[in-house]
Amino acid sequence: MAKTKSAYFCQSCGFETAKWLGKCPSCNQWNTFVEEVIEKGNSHVPTWKSPSGTQRLSKPSKVEDIQSATEERTSTGDLELDRVLGGGLIAGSVILIGGEPGIGKSTLMLQLALNVVGKKVLYISGEESEQQIKMRAERITTQPKADCFILTETSTQNIFKQIEQLESEIVIVDSIQTLHSAHIESTPGSVSQVRECTAELLRFAKETNTPVFLIGHITKDGAIAGPKILEHMVDTVLQFEGDRHHIYRILRSIKNRFGAAAELGIYAMQSSGLREVSNPSEILLSQRDEELSGITIGATLEGARPMLIETQALVSVAAYGTPQRSATGFDTKRMNMLLAVLEKRCGFRLSAKDVFLNIAGGIKVEDPAIDLAIMAAIISSHEDIFISSKICFAAEVGLSGEIRAVNRIEQRISEAEKLGFEKIFISNYNLKGLNKDKFKIQIVTVSKIEEVFSLLFG
């Protein structure tokens, strides 16, 4: 008989302690400890056993003796998801996808299950019935390309029995918070249950080389629910973002052991499911009938993908005495820094003005290469003079007003040329190694912010 022991777990970070505490010493949150009964003893065995029934013994190896091999990737049938994963699925990888309720996580995973070519996929749902999943499948596809099997189950013991009988090649779990293991006596969704179920699925994935997708809920703060160790255990963490009032969704890579952690995938939510957006500029650039002040175009990079985004600024007289500073999709502190540069180096009196900034398309941009586009939009709104929609910008601005170089400038210029822009402003320091003759677009090089404004506004 196993010895039963109770412990207290922080519901925010998963910190374990033998007694109740008011404040968590790990994450400093108050009143987050909950008592959970854990069963420990010699009778506790892993839920998943390797097919041979024997444990794998590892031995240390010298670095030069280890054979390097190229990881084989399997296409998911979704170009955007393949890009975010780094080129496709790796055998034995565990991928965690988080996002708000109703954003489209289950739809994305069901599309994957139905569209991956030549694979036997098991879709495990602990939240919906088979009939509900069937209704969604009929809506998003007419002819499944994969052998897709649906299992409505929450017990990990039964799940592994079905996986073994079916010999699944891809496993999708919706969601990890609904599963429960018989070896843990706490309720499904608790810290200990989420951690144990994930550990069992991780062992299964690594020992059988089967890719596993886990859908995870998020908290009100936007973090994935459960202990933080959950994100450390898995190989890849993806965040599915977007506004339910808009049709566009963004799949962002937060952690990826098999690829870049800065990639971005864009989808459009339609009645027939999620449509891949191969050209993001179609949603990031608005179609205007007339030229308006306060709008400029900046060339940015998300991972390996160049994008042209629209920055919108509004400068008005502060009506309530204290000027307001508000930015959507951009760091407010960096915007305040750029405003200080404009006031100090260029003489624009913005200290008594309200300044509002918006990045069109609902995305968040951290690339400093859009600094120049933002400053040009602010002055365009301040002077009420429009900037031509055929001009774009790709440069960082320093505190002394100098125009700094940005990386991978050729990709940014090529994207601007492809989209029909006639002129692009870049830094003088980007000219080193740049062949201007191979571009048809006019490349304007500047070194100071004052030069930009004299060229734009005279």
Dmax over Cα atoms in the chain, in whole Å? 86
Task: For residue 134, say whether it is annotated as part of any ligand binding site.
Answer: no
Q: What is the pTM of this model?
A: 0.78
Structure confidence at residue 240 (pLDDT): 92
CA distance 76 to 211: 11
Which of 299, 304, 246, 300 lies closest to 270 in space, CA to CA? Answer: 246
Look at residue 372 and give its three-state secondary structure.
Answer: helix
Task: For residue 46, say whether it is annotated as part of any ligand binding site.
Answer: no
CA distance 13 to 8: 12
Task: For residue 99, say whether it is annotated as part of any ligand binding site.
Answer: yes
The pair of three-digit structure tokens given for residue 350, joined into one six-digit string: 């913005």
Per DSSP, the residues of 68-94 read P-PPPEE--S-HHHHHHHTSSEETT-E
Per DSSP, the residues of 261-298 read TT-EEEEEEETTEEEE-S-THHHHS---SS--TTEEEE
CA distance 171 to 213: 6
Task: For residue 106, say whether it is annotated as part of any ligand binding site.
Answer: yes
The pair of three-digit structure tokens given for residue 368, joined into one six-digit string: 């400093």
DSSP tag of 244? T
CA distance 413 to 406: 12
Place of tokens 């994969």: 146
The number of beta carbons lying within 10 Å of the beta carbon of residue 287 is 6
DSSP tag of 360? T
Task: For residue 361, say whether it is annotated as part of any ligand binding site.
Answer: no
Q: Beta-strand (E) ranges in 305-386?
A: 305-317, 325-328, 353-359
CA distance 208 to 51: 9
Structure confidence at residue 47 (pLDDT): 56
Mean pLDDT (10-residue bins), the chain, 458 residues: 72 83 88 73 50 61 83 88 91 93 91 90 93 91 81 93 92 92 81 87 93 88 73 92 80 89 85 86 72 92 86 89 90 94 88 91 87 95 92 95 93 91 94 87 94 88
- Cα dist. 130→78, 120, 144, 178, 412 in Å? 24, 18, 16, 16, 47
Task: For residue 102, say whether it is annotated as part of any ligand binding site.
Answer: yes
CA distance 254 to 233: 14
Structure confidence at residue 175 (pLDDT): 86
- Taking a C-beta distance cutoff of 8 angstroms, is the pair 387, 295 a contact? yes
